[in-house]
Amino acid sequence: MTKQYEGKAKVIFSTDDPMVLLTYFKDDATAYNAMKRGNIPGKGEMNCTISSHLFQYLQLNGIANHFIAQPSKREMRVQALRILPLEVVVRNIAAGSLCSQTGIEPGTNLPYPLVEFYYKRDDLGDPLLTLDRLQLLNLATSEQVNYLKSNALHINQLLGDFFGSCGLTLVDFKLEFGLNHEQQLLLGDEISPDTCRLWDQGETDADKRILDKDRFRKDLGSVLEAYEEVLTRVKTQCLRLLPVQSQSDITSG
């Protein structure tokens, strides 16, 4: 296998099939545009397994995505995609940059889910895009933008229901999409506590309820324990929802 690309949290390898890639999940963690760096032993396994379960759940519910199988605890076989340089963020509750950029009080329930597009450019600090800028930069066609928005809202509905039944509140999350060899636009990347804000519904304390990367961003400690808690709940819910055949595509890890 040849290394194709190494990002902040994952390494992508080519396989003998040009339409299939192997994603390896690392333990490295970054935040604030990589100004803060760390290593959380075991995080890669958690994120790979949580993502694999969630991609399977979404496929079963009609959301096309790149997941093929999880051959080991840290590896995911995926369809090769040409990833659009966009981060599609959906927010249900105000947190993070929405609060720092608008003054909305953290924890405010939004009247409707907000879909935002950010330009995936580390050198520019991943700026928020307007629809006009998206068009100006030719980042996506207007048809693709409409599809991305409606698909992101559908995913928000499905993930919100799923996490809700795990006793978790889906505060916000980031998605990435790309084109496969048939020019089909598919959901890619990962869905994990690195890319979602998740709050424990059984906990009222504003810090203790956090079960996602904000524990690392804010130096709250017990990062791996939080990810393990999410994995346990996601696995339990998937055992109830996924058919036995799908479960065999995910490692027992």
Q: Whose structure tokens read 């006009």?
A: 132
Q: Which is nearer to ligand UDP, 14 or 97 (CB)?
A: 97
Interaction site with ligand UDP (CB under 6 A): 87, 89, 95-98, 126, 172-174, 195-197, 213
Q: Which is nearer to ligand UDP, 197 or 233 (CB)?
A: 197
d(CA 83, CA 95): 26
Rounded least distance, CB 202 to ligand UDP, Å: 21
Rounded least distance, CB 123 to ligand UDP, Å: 13
3-class SS of residue 3: strand
Rounded least distance, CB 96 to ligand UDP, Å: 2
Rounded least distance, CB 183 to ligand UDP, Å: 26
Q: Which is nearer to ligand UDP, 140 or 196 (CB)?
A: 196
d(CA 194, CA 215): 10
Distances (CA, A) of 112 to 115, 152, 153, 164, 191: 10, 13, 10, 17, 21
Q: Which is nearer to ligand UDP, 115 or 242 (CB)?
A: 115
What residues pair up with 3 in beta bridges, in sequence order? 13
- Report which of 130, 233, 31, 17 is spatially closest to residue 9, judged by C-alpha positions: 31
Rounded least distance, CB 228 to ligand UDP, Å: 18
- Report which of 211, 208, 242, 207 is spatially closest to residue 229, judged by C-alpha positions: 211
Q: Which is nearer to ligand UDP, 95 or 129 (CB)?
A: 95
d(CA 182, CA 133): 27
d(CA 83, CA 248): 28
Residue of this chain nearest to ligand UDP (CB atom): 96
Q: Which is nearer to ligand UDP, 46 or 242 (CB)?
A: 46
H helix or E strand, kind and range, residue 232: helix 223-241
Rounded least distance, CB 156 to ligand UDP, Å: 12
